[in-house]
């Protein structure tokens, strides 16, 4: 199919990955997919009970799919109400967060062993993790509920066994932080002021605010190379270049994710009469269709150079034989 002004999607492959080892459809909903830099591993949450030989129980949990071996691994945790996971760029670690003893906690799982540990939380609860490329650094939001209620963004260095404070807010309205691949930069949002900032580990300072013409900005993601920051302002998406300080406008769309190199932007058009997800080459302005059917994706859902995009959808006509009536996770490969 060719759309005027768009690159052709002929030859592009789509595969459903939330399936059992023998290819059987998942018997529960799957969503919240995130992909490694090389596109080999994909982490996602699912309530399906038949994706691995080990039954995960009654609540949604997290799985990692290895596209090279076609094997799926269960990342076990005792938390409930698991939120969408994030996977490190090298695919060795998965961070997730969920409810544990009535408080929200962040957990880190090692993919090779399946072992999971709870992250020490300075507040009553911790949430919204983001991982560096090798999993050494993890940033999250710590929430303190004793009056006055407030939040803090922190970065944990596993090698040095240290925690640094990125920003503190005198209110509980912040946004998910996003960390660069080398752990040097953390983009974050002051949710109350609707401003986006970038923290630099080298001098422990924050620059910004980054904001569009409407003066209000909502953070989407920082690219893994630290070169670009994607944010929303009004009905438009902007891609901020950290080196030049300039902003590239992508009008009338909602930015969803950016690839690790900062070149490819995944977005959802506000016009619902066409594709639901598109991938734009920010250098050439060329767009590729990710999904014509209604679909959803999150941050860290694009591999390097825009080669792969992961998303979830309840549509039953993306791949043949989709009859489970559930939300499934898919991967689209462009080359």
Which class for 22: exposed (0-12), middle (13-18), buried (19 or more C-beta within 10 A)? Answer: exposed
pLDDT of residue 5: 34
pLDDT of residue 58: 62
Domain annotation covers residue 7: no
pLDDT of residue 57: 66
CATH number of the domain bearing residue 67: 2.130.10.10
pLDDT of residue 258: 99
Domain annotation covers residue 2: no
H/E stretch holding 127 reads strand 125-131
- Asked if 182 and 226 touch (Cβ cutoff 8 Å), the reply is yes
Query: How is residue 306 annotated by DSSP?
Result: G
Distances (CA, A) of 39 to 146, 176, 311: 42, 23, 13
Which class for 102: exposed (0-12), middle (13-18), buried (19 or more C-beta within 10 A)? Answer: exposed
Which residue numbers in the chain have pLDDT < 70? 1-12, 55-58, 76-81, 99-101
| CA–CA distance, 47 with 69 (Å, rounded to integer) | 23
Domain annotation covers residue 8: no
Taking all residues of the chain, what is their mean pLDDT, rounded to a whole number? 90
Strand, coil or helix: 118: strand
Domain annotation covers residue 60: yes
pLDDT of residue 227: 98
Domain that holds residue 281: 13-333
Our count of domains for the chain comes to 1
pLDDT in tens, 234-275: 999 999 999 999 999 999 999 999 999 999 999 999 998 899
Q: Who contacts 200 (Cβ-Cβ below 8 Å, separation ≥6)?
A: 184, 185, 206, 207
Domain annotation covers residue 76: yes
Q: Who contacts 105 (Cβ-Cβ below 8 Å, separation ≥6)?
A: 79, 97, 98, 99, 118, 119, 121, 125, 126
- Asked if 312 and 296 touch (Cβ cutoff 8 Å), the reply is yes
Domain annotation covers residue 309: yes
- Asked if 305 and 261 touch (Cβ cutoff 8 Å), the reply is yes
């Amino acid at each position: 199919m060719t759309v005027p002004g768009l690159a052709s999607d002929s030859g592009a492959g789509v595969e459903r990955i939330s399936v059992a080892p023998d290819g059987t459809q998942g018997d529960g909903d799957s969503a919240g997919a995130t992909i490694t830099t090389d596109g080999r591993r994909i982490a996602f949450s699912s309530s399906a009970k038949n994706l691995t030989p080990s039954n995960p129980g009654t609540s949604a949990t997290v799985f990692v799919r290895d596209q090279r071996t076609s094997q799926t691994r269960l990342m076990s945790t005792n938390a409930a109400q698991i939120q969408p996971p994030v996977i490190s760029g090298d695919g060795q670690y998965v961070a997730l967060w969920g409810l544990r003893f009535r408080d929200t906690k962040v957990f880190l799982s090692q993919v090779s062993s399946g072992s999971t540990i709870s992250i020490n939380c300075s507040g009553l609860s911790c949430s919204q993790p983001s991982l560096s490329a090798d999993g050494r650094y993890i940033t999250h939001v710590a929430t303190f509920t004793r009056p006055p209620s407030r939040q803090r963004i922190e970065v944990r260095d596993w090698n040095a066994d240290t925690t640094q404070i990125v920003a503190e807010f005198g209110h509980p309205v912040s946004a998910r932080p996003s960390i660069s691949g080398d752990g040097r930069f953390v983009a974050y949002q002051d949710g109350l002021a609707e401003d986006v900032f970038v923290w630099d580990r080298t001098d422990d300072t924050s620059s910004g605010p980054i904001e569009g013409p409407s003066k209000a900005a909502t953070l989407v993601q920082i690219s893994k190379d630290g070169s670009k920051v994607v944010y929303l302002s009004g009905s438009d998406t902007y891609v901020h270049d950290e080196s030049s300080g300039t902003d590239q406008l992508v009008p009338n769309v909602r930015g969803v994710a950016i690839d690790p190199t900062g070149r490819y932007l995944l977005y959802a058009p506000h016009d619902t009469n066409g594709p639901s997800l598109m991938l734009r080459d920010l250098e050439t302005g060329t767009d590729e269709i990710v999904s014509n059917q209604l679909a959803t994706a999150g941050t860290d859902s694009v591999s390097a150079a825009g080669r792969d995009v992961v998303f979830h959808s309840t549509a039953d006509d993306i791949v043949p034989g989709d009859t489970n009536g559930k939300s499934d996770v898919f991967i689209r490969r462009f080359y």
